[in-house]
Amino acid sequence: MKRLSLKPNLLTVNTLLSALVKYPSTNCSIMCRELFNDAVRLGVKLNTNTFSILMKAYCIELKFDDAIGLLKTMGEFGCEPDNVSYNTILDGLSKKGRLNQVRDLLADMKGRGLVPNRHTYNILVYGYCKMGWLKDAAKILELMTQNNVLPDVWTYNVLVNGFCGDGKIEEAFKLLEEIEGLKLFPDIVTYNTLINAFLEKKRSLDAFELLEQMKLKGVKPNNSTYNIILKWYCREGKMDEACDNIKRMEEGGFSPDSVTYNTLINGFCRAGKLDVAFRVMNEMTGKGMKPDAVTLNTVLRIFCVERKHDEAYELLNSARKKGYIVDEVSYGTLIAGYCKDENVEKAMKIWDEMKQKGVIPTVLTYNTIIGGLCKSGKTAEAINKLNELLESGLVPDQITYNTIIHGYCWAGNIEKAFQFHNKMVEHSFKPDIYTCNILLRGLCREMMLEKAMKLFNTWISRGKIIDAVTYNTLISALCKDGKLDDAMALVSDMEEKKLGPDIYTCNAVLGALAEAGRTKEAEDIILKVVETGSVHEGTVLSQKGKLQDPPTVESAENSDSGSVVYSEQIIEFCAQKKYIEAMQLLKELTAKGATVNRSTYMTLMNGLIKRKKGTMKVDKM
DNA sequence: CTAGGGTTAG
């Protein structure tokens, strides 16, 4: 078109821009900007929508300053921002928890005489919920009513999700009554949110009951319903039932989407079944669904788990060149991987690269690097990162603070841990069960057992929530200190509260019990642990009297040396980008009943992500 | 707006 010197019209420009934004790839905003510049050069008269779409592009890449800048510059083109323009940026900011900027922009919006509409309010409710500021979120609802903008199901769904995310399912249900009072009806999103919340809280019975209730009320499940249940099966490691769920999904007339496939791939990866994970990934591509950013990040994670960090790094870079969205999650995955490998230097290097590429970290990304720095004893640098986080306008969360408190404990600086904790409490930080357990463990490490017990008793008398970790921390410390009777008293205590004993309790007390010749008690506790089902079948007792998990798939796989030659051949094909040959060989091998090692499957997954158009078809494996 | 990928305690 450009070559023919034809002038595109406004509709063409906006349609193209929308398409770029709808299916975003790397450098989405740069491509949009180029298109925009071309349009300007060709003298196309642009409208407000053009700018709003461009803003959306910037928001996708978290370039909020550029997006906000457009609000001013669009005036030079004779365009004025409208509600859509503001809502677009507000939505982007709100989703990433940048509430300070939301506030400023909202003031700016009102200053222009624009009136927030329902969408604007819904965005605010979402933002507050995401931050866990539920009271503020509820206040927005009041504000809406005052301003004659009535909340809709959407508003309530956001709020329901907020309450669920905070673990307040019962309060979320109260909202349902409120919805019905307004003659609105809970829809499939409402139900999906609640079912998901039950499953996350391990209340599967409630979840399935609600599912039935939902059907009775005539609300039909959708793809997401099945995906939510699928996720639960995967998390529980019930991969057979996960597959049954897919069958039911298809029987119900739904087809697996990319979320379904990514959930399954992740599930099989976590279960150590890389061969099946690869097969699913291949099936996904066969059905015309390309591996996407989530698939990429899943594969990056499994590479890191398998300690192939450098391969993961290489994959990240080549995926970016192939147009994948490489986001803060991708970089965060690698950063976490290197941190676990005790290579913070490399993790920091990747952090810098991420920044240099214009990928903006979220709180979670910060938490990852802060945790890594803490674990390697670099608490001062961790604090630097915390300050950087604050300067960037983000708000630290529970995990940020807990990580730093843990960092001080890890460094043996229990005083500083408490100091930091106290200072944060003054700044409205609410210690949770993690905080308590971290501090308790810190005291135990420093042989301040008495102080730990004192703290523990204060919590009990104040009715604070304690859990199995709390008990196990103390029990383990008491055993190491030779106070077996005190430890056993806590064991019965935790049993009374139905918090255990579990496998950690066992590991803590069995050695001491055996040494004291108290075999009867040792047998008792093992029996209880098995009864409560907190140990999966196949757990074996080693000679030292400690419970151990059965040998992992990994060690079993390492012994399949028979097909090493073929594995190497497949890997070689992949290296030469001869994926078709690689797949052919794999097919032949599987037909013969031979197996290849996990490394080979990882190389094949790598190939699926990187390949351009060449097919990697394999029929039945 | 909900669903899939990366972070905290024993």
Q: What is the DSSP string of A404-416?
A: HHHHHHHTT-HHH
Nucleotide nearest to A296 (CA to C1'): B5
What does the alpha-carbon distance between residue A328 and residue A364 come to, in Å, rounded to a whole number? 9
**SS3 helix, strand, coil % of chain A, rounded to 5?**
70, 0, 30
Spacing of A470 CA from B9 C1' in Å: 8
Cis upstream peptide for A361 (omega within 30°): no
The amino acid at residue A504 is Y
Nucleotide nearest to A336 (CA to C1'): B6
Spacing of A479 CA from B8 C1' in Å: 25
Spacing of A331 CA from B7 C1' in Å: 13
Does A128 score more than 50 pLDDT?
yes
- DSSP tag of A548: E
Residue nearest to nucleotide B2 (CA to C1'): A189
Q: Provide the pLDDT for residue A188.
A: 94
What does the alpha-carbon distance between residue A180 and residue A281 come to, in Å, rounded to a whole number? 43
Residue nearest to nucleotide B5 (CA to C1'): A294
Structure tokens at A422: 């106290």
Extents of the domains making up chain A: 467-550, 561-610
Kindly write down the DSSP assignment for every residue of A50-86, as one continuous string: HHHHHHHHHHHTT-HHHHHHHHHHGGGGT----HHHH
Spacing of A209 CA from B9 C1' in Å: 33
Q: Provide the pLDDT for residue A288.
A: 85
Report pLDDT digits (tens) over A17-48: 888 887 766 677 888 899 999 899 998 999 99
Spacing of A34 CA from B2 C1' in Å: 35
| CB-CB contact of A288 with A300 (8 Å) | no
Nucleotide nearest to A263 (CA to C1'): B4
What does the alpha-carbon distance between residue A52 and residue A67 come to, in Å, rounded to a whole number? 9
Does A105 score more than 90 pLDDT?
yes
Cβ-Cβ contacts under 8 Å for A490 (sequence gap 6 or more) = A471, A474, A475, A478
Residue in A448, A466, A444 with CA at minimum distance from that of residue A457: A466
Spacing of A441 CA from B10 C1' in Å: 8
Nucleotide nearest to A257 (CA to C1'): B4
Q: Count of CB atoms within 10 A of residue A128's CB?
A: 23
- DSSP tag of A6: P
CA-based torsion, A340, A295, A65, A395: positive or negative: negative
Better-predicted residue by pLDDT, A49 or A554:
A49
Nucleotide nearest to A95 (CA to C1'): B1
Q: Give the H/E segment covering residue A547.
A: strand A547-548
pLDDT band of A561, cuts 50, 70, 90 = very low
Q: Count of CB atoms within 10 A of residue A448's CB?
A: 15
Does A118 score more than 70 pLDDT?
yes
Nucleotide nearest to A326 (CA to C1'): B5
Region A524-530: mean pLDDT is 88
Strand B positions within 7 A of protein Cβ atoms: 1-10
Residue in A186, A299, A229, A198 with CA at minimum distance from that of residue A603: A299
Residue nearest to nucleotide B3 (CA to C1'): A224
Distance in angstroms between the alpha carbons of the first and the last residue of chain A: 47
pLDDT band of A444, cuts 50, 70, 90 = very high
Spacing of A345 CA from B10 C1' in Å: 28
Q: Could you give the C-alpha distances from A614 to A204, A501, A611, A617, A620, in angstroms and in order? A: 43, 54, 6, 9, 19
The amino acid at residue A437 is N
Q: Provide the pLDDT for residue A30.
A: 84
Spacing of A521 CA from B4 C1' in Å: 45
Q: Angle formed by the axes of helices A564-575 and A579-591, to 10°?
A: 160
Spacing of A460 CA from B10 C1' in Å: 18
What does the alpha-carbon distance between residue A297 and residue A301 come to, in Å, rounded to a whole number? 6
What does the alpha-carbon distance between residue A553 and residue A276 come to, in Å, rounded to a whole number? 13
Nucleotide nearest to A375 (CA to C1'): B8
Half-sphere exposure in the Cβ direction for A123 (13 Å, CA): 24
Residue nearest to nucleotide B4 (CA to C1'): A259
| CB-CB contact of A190 with A218 (8 Å) | no
Nucleotide nearest to A366 (CA to C1'): B7
pLDDT band of A323, cuts 50, 70, 90 = confident
Report pLDDT digits (tens) over A605-615: 998 888 854 34
pLDDT band of A542, cuts 50, 70, 90 = very low
Number of H helices, E strands in chain A: 34, 2
The amino acid at residue A563 is S
Say whether A7 sits in a helix, a strand or coil: coil
| CB-CB contact of A601 with A278 (8 Å) | yes
Beta bridge partners, A541, equal: A547
Residue in A49, A31, A30, A136 with CA at minimum distance from that of residue A87: A49
Spacing of A536 CA from B8 C1' in Å: 25
Structure tokens at A586: 């794999």
Kindly write down the DSSP assignment for every residue of A495-541, as one continuous string: HHTT----HHHHHHHHHHHHHTT-HHHHHHHHHHHHHTT-S-TT-EE
Spacing of A605 CA from B6 C1' in Å: 19
Residue nearest to nucleotide B8 (CA to C1'): A399
Residue nearest to nucleotide B7 (CA to C1'): A368
- DSSP tag of A221: P
Does A209 score more than 80 pLDDT?
yes
Q: Provide the pLDDT for residue A478.
A: 95
| CB-CB contact of A340 with A301 (8 Å) | no
Residue in A44, A50, A62, A60 with CA at minimum distance from that of residue A14: A50
- Average pLDDT taken over every residue of chain A: 88
Q: Provide the pLDDT for residue A96.
A: 77
DSSP H helical segments within A322-413, as ranges?
Answer: 328-340, 344-356, 363-375, 379-391, 398-410
Spacing of A429 CA from B8 C1' in Å: 15
Nucleotide nearest to A164 (CA to C1'): B2
Nucleotide nearest to A228 (CA to C1'): B3
What does the alpha-carbon distance between residue A432 and residue A544 come to, in Å, rounded to a whole number? 35
HEC per residue, A304-338: HHCCCHHHHHHHHHHHHHCCCCCCHHHHHHHHHHH
What does the alpha-carbon distance between residue A198 and residue A178 come to, in Å, rounded to a whole number? 20
Q: Angle formed by the axes of helices A153-165 and A169-181, to 10°?
A: 170
Region A244-270: mean pLDDT is 94
